[in-house]
Structure 1
Amino acid sequence: MLNAGMGFARRKGLMEAPDLSKSALMDNAARFTGYSDFGDDWFHKPLDRLLENLHDQARLNAAGEWAAKKQFEKVLHDRLWAEQWFREHPEILGRPLPRPVFIVGPMRSGTTRLHRLLSADHRFSHMRSFETISPVPRPGFVPGKPDPRVRLAERIMRVARFANPRTLTIHPTGPYEPEEELGLLVNSFWGMKHEAQWWVPDYGRWCEREDAVPAYRQMARLLKLVGWSQQVSSLRPWVLKTPQHMMDLPALMKVFPDARLIFTHRDPLSVVGSAASLAWNQTIIYSDHAQPERIGKEWLRKTNLQIARMRQARKMVPGNRIIDVRYDEMDRDWRGTMRRIYEFLDMDIEPSLPAMQHYMDRTAIYKRHPHQYSLEEFGLSAGQVLHELNDYITSFGIPLEDRMDRLAKTGVMA
């Protein structure tokens, strides 16, 4: 309805198309905030490429263009406000980030469940959903006082669910739910979030060739700001996750050299289909020209690349800093799997088990309304996915979740 209304208003000359040029976006942000320091200039490179491909590839509808303008402006406001907070409170950047725990896995491989179980343990710090939407407190923010970012997150989530109700099934969340640090990378206009929202494949391939260290340095700075705004001890390790880390492990380890890594693995038949469905259900909000087959092909390629990069980069990480966790293990015995993870982290799990059980009980409702998708609706087949990712399945002992009859149709049995 919003798209139709905006389209009508623009055709009648009642509303102008939003100006998505970089100069206009940056000038408006500086004028709105009253500041001019956007921080490290590196962000111009991904911003330039993203805007270029937004214009020539994404084919946004009227509501999509309006939403894109709001998103770009919001990130630029956050960059300006962040630099002001660092100037006013230089102690923020002095906060340590000791021994963070990173959950690293493909999209839809169970990283959210594992992240939220670990976040239930108050010995860890974690991002909340409203903080990944708005990592930077607004001017005048006082720790411990009501935070307007929470209400902004509620409004954004209501709009997203109204635009496509399936988003709640695909990724259940709320303003205070533990959430991945995706917004800290988006602050540099970096990463797969943009590819899952808009059809910008050239931007994605450009990112794949670039060194991600500057984006991860900005992420670390913002993580210190989030910790300061939460007023939590800087000695508590963070538990973090986003599929982007599959692509950028060398940068992650350079910026967080004492990180501990939990790798999650799931049947690629489910990972690829679910990732394509997630991207499809977001892209169709912003464009009337999304093509499911094209999205399926791209996310098969992307998943394959993520896994290849992860397997290559983890060779450089000491073995005592790595643990592998399969999705089926968590499904079958989450307590036993979590005990193994806590042994790896050299921590006692017992104090955290009641909170973890509460999370599992609270989210059981979502299992009654599972995310529905198929490979076929995105122009893919089980045989095609298995052909490309069979070595990954074999190397990590990943059982296939698909029905045997479906596999039989492809001529592939396991």
Structure 2
Amino acid sequence: MTDKIRIDDLAKPRLTPAQEAAIAYGESRTVHLTVDAVLGAATQASGLDDFGPDDFRERLELWLSEMGKDDERTGLGRVSMFDDCVRHAVNRLRIHELLRRHPEIRDVPIERPVIVVGLPRSGTTHLVNLIAADERFRSMPLWEAREPVPDSRETTPPGGADPRWSRGNRAWNALQSTLPLMASMHPMSPDHVHEELELELPDFSSYQIEWAARCPGWRDYYLSHDQTPHYAYMRTVLQILQWQRPRERWVLKSPQHLEQLGPLLATFPDATVVVTHRDPVSVIQSTATMMTYSARLHYRHTRPEWYLEYWTDRIRRLLESAVRDRDRLPANRTVDVYFHEFMADQFGTVERIYSAAGLEFTAEARAQVAAYRDAHPRGKDGQVVYDLRHDFGVTPREVRSPFGFYLDMFPVREEVQ
């Protein structure tokens, strides 16, 4: 039986000793949220200094300035942002250096990928991990997403773990120590298949930062700029990964693609697109709860009402864009997946996707997918109980009311009453 988990301290967290220690550590460190400080630290850490085209500096400056001006951000929140930006900048240096030494990488084909596109918290992660269990597919585990190009100064001992995997595992263990309930909401183990959106971060774009910070200024900037160049950058990093470890086809996924179908299809014109659908209320209550829970480390006040308002608006924007651009999707290579049907028949859902992708669902592939499904039942790490009324002071009907345009178009089952 799945353990039910009730988070009853979202508004006024009761900090664990590990959380108190993490916050104290953040207060003990001083970081300067400036472009020069980040790039200087990246140069020192990598031994490289050529970042390539410098248009990224404007975007990095916006990230850092919005965090620096936020008095609610804790010391740990500032340190986390600084360290993440340094990691992205180091990745940018290594990517640029590798491409300089091996320009042939830009000719590596990325053909007929299967791309899962759907709301966050709508089953996209489980679905992409199911498909990725088929070893013919090339997917991207989190450890590789965090550091797509290895440090040329490091070596992997015979039979040992890649140093990048080891760093990813330490990060996962630290997260479980400070935010133990994240495993029940969004597993981040190093081998977990991750979003290719991570590969836009060395170019300092994407909506990913919205999951790490309160940054409406960045949201407005991002939405007002054409993302096609950043999708092209991401594709180039995929070429690097394909060059390093080839497979027959890629399986990718990201909710951001819902509002970027134009750039997505310009970048991957021969893709099979899998669109997941779920009751927006389920998505919003899950997202707002997870974000409020994690805010106890990075913000002085968790402000559940802020996350509910922000992510209700954000999910609406994603869906409005998806509905607006629906006719861009290739009819013969688009598969709609409804959450309730997926949960009832995971195997049948995967079969439909393979059919649309023109890929044989072989006996070996069936066994690999089934093995993953059986080893990862829903609620394996416990199931969080979500309560809009108690935790956020609203009813499901109120949250659902702005989404008639979407619910009238797609037969999504209401999950929350």
Same fold (TM over 0.5): yes
Bigger mean CA deviation after superposition, 360-369 or 120-129: 360-369
Q: Is the 8 A contact 2:34 2:61 kept in 1?
A: no
* Cα displacement (A) at 1:32: 2.9
Following superposition, the deviation at residue 185 of structure 1 comes to 2.0
Checking the alignment, whether the CA contact within 8 Å between 1:98 and 1:237 is kept in structure 2 is: yes
Give the aligned partner of residue 89 of structure 1: 102
- Residues 1:182 and 2:197 aligned together: yes
Matched, 1:212 2:227: yes
Match of 1:205, as an amino acid?
D
**Over residues 131-155 of structure 1, what are the superposed CA-to-partner deviations in whole Å (9 max), with x where a residue is unaligned?**
1222221124679964210000011
Q: Distance in 2 between matches of 1:320 and 1:44?
A: 41
2:164 pairs with 1:149 = yes
Q: Match of 1:294?
A: 306
**Could you tell me which residue of structure 1 aligns to residue 9 of structure 2?**
none
Provide the rounded CA distance (Å) in 2 between the counterparts of 1:379 and 1:160: 29
Shift of 1:240: 0.3
Structure 1 CA distance, aligned partners of 2:157 and 2:234?
23
Which segment is superposed worse, 18-27 or 58-67? Answer: 58-67
For 2:151, the aligned partner's letter is R
Structure 2 distance, partners of 1:134, 1:163, is 23
TM-score, normalised via structure 2 length: 0.89
Percent sequence identity is: 28
* In structure 2, distance between residues paired with 1:354 and 1:165: 32
- Aligned with residue 196 of structure 1, among 204, 211, 215: 211
Report how far residue 243 of structure 1 moved: 1.1
In structure 1, the gaps of 5 or more residues are 408-414
Report 1:323-334 matches (<5 A): 323-334=335-346
Aligned residues: 397
Instruction: Provide the C-alpha distance between the structure 1 equivalents of 2:30 and 2:18, rounded to a whole number of angstroms.
Output: 14
Question: Structure 2: any 5+ residue segments left out of the alignment?
Answer: 1-16
Would you identify which runs of 4 or more consecutive aligned residues in structure 1 move more than 3 Å?
1-11, 140-146
- Whether 1:349 and 2:361 are equivalent positions in the alignment is yes
Q: Which residue of 1 aligns with 2:146?
A: 133
Aligned match of 2:7: none
TM-score norm. by structure 1 comes to 0.90
Question: Is the Cα–Cα contact under 8 Å of residues 134 and 183 in structure 1 kept in the other structure?
Answer: no
Distance 1:378 1:193, change over 3 A: farther
- Cα distance change of structure 1 residues 138 and 159 upon mapping to structure 2, 3 Å threshold: same
Which of 394, 398, 401 is residue 384 of structure 1 equivalent to? 398
Partner of 1:362: 375
Q: Which residues of 2 match residues 140-289 of structure 1 at below 5 A?
A: 140=153, 146-229=161-244, 231-233=245-247, 236-289=248-301
Q: Give the Cα separation in 2 of the matches to 1:81 and 1:189.
A: 15
Give the number of the structure with larger relative contact order, counting CA–CA contacts within 8 Å between residues 6 or more apart.
Answer: 2
* 298-307 vs 15-24, which moves further: 15-24
Note if contact 2:312-2:399 (Cα within 8 Å) is conserved in structure 1.
yes
For 2:29 and 2:174, how far apart are their aligned partners in 1?
Answer: 22
Deviations 1:262-314 (A, max 9, x none): 10001111111112122223332211222100110000000000011111122
Distance 1:372 1:122, change over 3 A: same
Q: Structure 1 221/393 Cα, relative in aligned 2: closer, same or farther at 3 Å?
A: same
Q: Which residue of 2 aligns with 1:412?
A: none
Deviation at 1:166, TM superposition (A): 1.0
User: Cα 1:194–1:8, aligned 2, differ >3 Å: closer, same or farther?
Assistant: closer
Are 1:253 and 1:259, in contact at CA under 8 Å, matched by a contact in 2? yes
Aligned partners of 1:151 and 1:318: how far apart in 2?
40
Note the C-alpha offset of 1:62: 1.6
CA, structure 1 residues 8+320, in 2 after alignment: closer, same or farther (shift >3 Å)? closer
Q: CA RMSD in A?
A: 2.2
